[in-house]
Structure 1
Amino acid sequence: MQKIYSLLFLALLLFISHPFVSKANQPETEPLVFMWWNLENLFDTLDDPSTNDSDFTPSGKLHWTEKKLKLKQMRIAFVISAIEKHPDYRRFPDIVAVCEVENEVVLKATMAKVPKVHYKTLHHDSPDIRGIDVGLAYNPKTLAPTGMKTYCVPLEGRPTRDIVVAGFTAGGRPLHLVLNHWPSRAFDTRWTEKKRIAAATVARAIVDSLLQRNPQADIILMGDFNDEPGDRSLKETLGSSFSREQVLSEPDTYLYNCWDGHDGEGSYRYRGHWEQIDQMLVSSGMLQKSGLRLDSKPFSCFAISPMFPSNSKYPWRTYEKGKYSGGYSDHLPLLLKVRTSP
């Protein structure tokens, strides 16, 4: 484990020290909006021989056609545009971080359908055999990238998604995003728990390396963790906490989980129960009064009525039990508002 930490620290030191893009100017009075969303299988229609994606082709099991793809892309753009119209935000997200996207081509094409904002994208091809990856889009007018690194989660057998670390400057201040899509709960939650603990161990090592370089580093972890805040992988391994005071008093141990105090639905509904498996966590630096900091009411699980089919409490999925439904996603997106202070 010490070797893993040492290698991560050296890699992140280089990553932090050598930005490749000059900083962008962000007005201090404008809050930044960060979005996380599991898009539920955003595939193109081509058969990629390097992955097991043949179901998502016109001739495949799911009969995934250009028409169905374009409708899904329009729905994604509709939700992002709805954030700009919402009175709590009134702006497009500055970061749109996603998982379950096949490649950068389909991610770029999807983000191009969002009006007014010319998003740029960062994407990484993970070893997941299904071909579903983690990626993000950012507004170059408000954020400037400083680099991206990826970290493998060592597992026996079937590989999982890599953890992606993306660096940015906002208002001249460095910011680190750690993007996650941990192994699923398929078959049995307890049997697969060790896989998510392995992912949590790598994510924690990344955070510790960043904090060793700068104890006040501004770090946001986002992802579909496939575990909830109270589960061992989050609470014990990663250090998730609902207490700001605990995070501020023990910043080397704990991360603030933004579901704290949230009333209402979770991001994913399973067997009639809302789950908080999509999460956003921040380092103690973002709880300070200066620099990049959380807004007064920073977090929400975003939902509007079109994202639910008639008379249903479940998000409107693209596929339901293997049959095409034509919806948005089986997950709801998360939003976080961050301000820049002197």
Structure 2
Amino acid sequence: MKLLKSLLLLLALVSISNVWAQGEKRFKIHTVAFYNLENLFDTINDPLKYDEASPMMEMKANRSEVYKKKVKNMARVVANIGSDMANNSPAIIGVCEIENRDVLEDLVNDPLLLGKDYGIIHFDGPDKRSIDVALLYQKALFKPIDSKSHELLIYDDVSRKRVFTRDQLLVTGKLEGDLIHILVNHWPSRSGGEARSRSKRVGAAKLNKRIIDSIQSKDPYAKIFTMGDLNDDPTNESVKKVLKAQKDKKRVGLKGIYNPFEKMFTEKGYGTTAYRDAWSLFDQIMMTKPLLEDDYSSFRFWKAGIYNKAYLTNKRGRYEGYPFRSFADGGFTNGFSDHFPVYVYLIKEAIED
């Protein structure tokens, strides 16, 4: 209700300031989101991949039924993200922890999403666990122009052997005519401890920054989103020192990056995943300055949020309040994910026909 009142107030203020010259204005709203789907693997053993270690493949019975429930649960969440305000599922949603294109085909063809006609952009990556990132988009709203998978070359600090991890997906396209660029990430985990693994995420951030710099060298006013499960908080070195993401919109320079999730983490204590009674906000969506301007003749950022509805949380026990994950103690819980999704709303002045 507070969110609705805030939007109505915003629209009222814009309308009042222009009422004499242009009359009242209406705005389109679209949701851009990201969701870690927590081991969305199929039930088929791929001899070319190390998928045996997935929770799905480790199940001894009812694997097919579990898979169907898992897909349906994921579809329910995707269908609901942003619907309170946009009256629609996300126009664009980045995802991670998916095994292949097949599981995404099953997801977008679920009855809850079939009518949205989602397209899929996915590349098979080199991750040793066979998990990838991807982008889903409503074909009626977003028109892809180009897509590329950027290889992340990082090495273990001790063995100096290459760490095979997720590529970074870059998609360029038009959201109802507005040119935007979307980077989808799943940065290296904290396996072995945060300090020991830090350099890997710093390396991922450096690749991310190079991609963004390359886009901005051609167009300083490019509208760029970078999103994903970063396995780092908004305050960590990878985000603050490498990407130089700002928590205050007023401090974002022309080629700078804004992170609306930093204040949620530092000032409100919000998170998207929890471990040992501590919340982390690993899932983030950041953006460049052109998305922050006050001219709503094209899509601009309005508000960010964490989709943490009650049905996505544990209701009791040791993990009460934590994300209600799909797999625990070697079995399927009929839950959702160990991460909450994140989203941003974009608004644009609607032109009267």
Alignment of 1:214-229 (within 5 A): 214-229=219-234
**Contact preservation (8 Å) 1:178, 1:222:** yes
Which residue of 293, 306, 311 corresponds with 2:300?
293
Q: Specify the alignment match of 1:317 in structure 2.
A: 325
CA deviation map 1:224-244 (0-9, x unaligned): 000111111110011111011
Q: Tell me which amino acid in the other structure corresponds to 1:314.
A: Y
Report the counterpart of residue 32 of structure 1 in structure 2: 30
Q: Counterpart amino acid of 2:170?
A: V
* 1:42-121 matched pairs, under 5 angstroms: 42-56=40-54, 60-63=57-60, 65-83=63-81, 85-86=83-84, 88-113=85-110, 114-115=112-113, 116-121=115-120
Segments of 5+ residues of structure 1 without an aligned counterpart are 1-27
Query: Structure 1-normalised TM-score?
Result: 0.85
2:280 to 275, 295, 300: 275
Equivalents in 2 of 1:227, 1:145: separation in Å? 29
2:206 maps to 1:201: yes
Distance 1:128 1:45 in 2: 19
Counterpart of 1:175?
180
Amino acid at match of 1:165: L
SS of 1:251's equivalent?
Answer: coil
1:17 aligned partner: none
Identity value in percent: 29
Q: Supply the distance in 1 between the matched residues of 2:243 and 2:249 (Cα, whole angstroms).
A: 16
Q: Out of 28-37 and 210-219, give the one that drifted further.
A: 28-37
Tell me the residue number matched to 1:192. Answer: 197
- The CA deviation at 1:48 is 1.1
Instruction: Report which stretch shifted further, 305-314 or 60-69.
Output: 60-69
Q: How many residues align?
A: 308
> How far did 1:246 drift?
1.3
If each structure's helix is expressed as a fraction of its own residues, which one has the higher value?
A: 2
| Distance in 2 (alpha carbons) for counterparts of 1:171 and 1:142 | 5
- Report the aligned-residue RMSD: 1.8
- Pair 1:335 & 2:339 matched: no
Unaligned runs of at least 5 residues, structure 2:
1-25, 156-161
1:85 Cα offset (Å): 4.9
User: Which of 1 and 2 has greater Rg?
Assistant: 2
Deviation at 1:303, TM superposition (A): 1.5
- Once the two structures are superposed, residues 134-165 of structure 1 have per-residue CA deviations (whole angstroms, 9 ceiling, x without a partner) of 00111011111111011111112221100100
Provide the TM-score with structure 2 as the length reference.
Answer: 0.83
Which residue type is aligned with residue 345 of structure 2? K
Preserved contact between residue 57 and residue 65 of structure 1 (Cα < 8 Å): no
Cα separation, 2, equivalents of 1:92 and 1:209: 31
